[in-house]
């Protein structure tokens, strides 16, 4: 399968690229990124309509990691404005160009931060109402999620949303107090790979073409349930057991 990966220079983008070896990849980012063994790279912004159109040409699927570029504006106001534009106008241009180019499968990377304001003693599934706090990193991803969802409503394409936990490496957080939101980069990449296997583009009802999954570590007493993602085959291998043992089971 020919797959476009956005935010490819980010750590998540690199993990996803590694997980998708065997496919022909096109890695897109505003920063230079090393070309994959079988594929190419594309340097450009999601806000550049012409660049986006050229990037999706010849692709079978689009993996939109949702990761922002490395060089964001220094000003708080400009940085927040840029994040908002990337998540809304950028996501819209990417998916619209993809639809016009014949792409049938889209995966969008969102965030579980939308539920952080809920207490830790509840079990949150995909049916819970997001309560995003007024900070642009989480709010922009939520707006991008809604933008992506509308394409499943309007077009015969498969759109799969992944609400990701806080991305870390299990080895790098050894000895630290654990967090119910933690998600290892490698497990996040596994979820993107599995999401690409989902194909519901021929379904009449848009609610079948669209699906949302919560993606985080597998804990004994979690706050964020991953039962839906298990249906995709998701089985996280990095569950921060040592961190929880040091503190006591969550």
Average pLDDT in the 82-89 region? Answer: 94
Mean per-residue pLDDT over the chain, rounded: 94
- Nearest alpha carbon to residue 107 among 13, 225, 231, 217: 13
pLDDT at res. 37 = 79
Which fold does the domain 2-247 belong to in CATH?
A: Rossmann fold (3.40.50)
pLDDT at res. 249 = 54
Q: How many CA atoms lie within 13 A of 126 on its CB side?
A: 18
Measured distance CA(199)–CA(231) in Å, rounded: 14
Whether the pTM exceeds 0.85: the reply is: yes
Radius of gyration of the chain (CA): 17
Measured distance CA(113)–CA(111) in Å, rounded: 5
Average pLDDT in the 83-105 region? Answer: 97
Q: How confident is the model at residue 238 (pLDDT cuts 50, 70, 90)?
A: very high
Q: How confident is the model at residue 246 (pLDDT cuts 50, 70, 90)?
A: confident
Report in angstroms the alpha-carbon separations of 199 from 71, 160, 192. Answer: 35, 9, 13
pLDDT at res. 248 = 61
- Give the pair of three-digit tokens for residue 168: 């870390």
Least confident of 17-21, 34-38, 125-129: 34-38
User: Is residue 69 within 8 Å of 111, Cβ to Cβ?
Assistant: no
Measured distance CA(248)–CA(97) in Å, rounded: 49
Structural domain boundaries in the chain: 2-247
175: left (phi over 0), alpha (psi -120 to 50) or beta: left
pLDDT at res. 72 = 81
Least confident of 33-42, 195-204, 216-225: 33-42
Per residue in 144-185, pLDDT (tens digit) is: 999 999 999 999 999 999 999 999 999 999 999 999 999 999
The runs of H, that is alpha helices, within the chain are: 11-19, 49-56, 76-85, 91-100, 136-154, 185-196, 206-209, 227-230, 241-247
pLDDT at res. 10 = 95
- Nearest alpha carbon to residue 141 among 168, 167, 166, 108: 108
């Amino acid at each position: 399968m020919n797959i476009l990966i956005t935010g490819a220079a980010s750590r998540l983008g690199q993990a996803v690229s590694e997980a998708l070896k065997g496919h022909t990849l096109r890695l897109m980012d505003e920063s230079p990124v090393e070309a994959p063994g079988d594929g190419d790279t594309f340097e450009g912004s999601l806000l550049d309509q012409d660049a986006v159109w050229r990037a999706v040409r010849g692709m079978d699927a689009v993996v939109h990691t949702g990761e922002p570029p490395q060089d964001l504006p220094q000003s708080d106001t400009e940085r927040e404005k840029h994040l908002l534009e990337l998540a809304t106008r950028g996501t819209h241009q990417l998916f619209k160009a993809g639809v016009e180019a014949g792409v049938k499968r889209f995966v969008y990377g969102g965030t579980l931060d939308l539920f952080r304001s809920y207490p830790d003693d509840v079990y949150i599934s995909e049916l819970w109402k997001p309560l995003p706090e007024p900070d642009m990193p989480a709010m922009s991803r939520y707006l991008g999620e809604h933008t992506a969802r509308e394409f499943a409503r309007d077009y015969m394409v498969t759109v799969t949303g992944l609400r990701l936990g806080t991305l870390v490496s299990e080895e790098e957080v050894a000895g630290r107090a654990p967090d119910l939101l933690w998600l290892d980069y490698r497990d996040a990449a596994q979820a993107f790979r599995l999401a690409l296997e989902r194909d519901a583009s021929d379904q009449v009802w848009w609610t079948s073409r669209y699906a949302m999954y919560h993606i985080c570590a597998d804990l004994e007493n979690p706050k964020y349930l991953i039962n839906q993602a298990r249906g995709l085959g998701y089985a996280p291998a990095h569950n921060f057991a040592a961190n929880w043992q040091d503190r006591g089971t969550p």
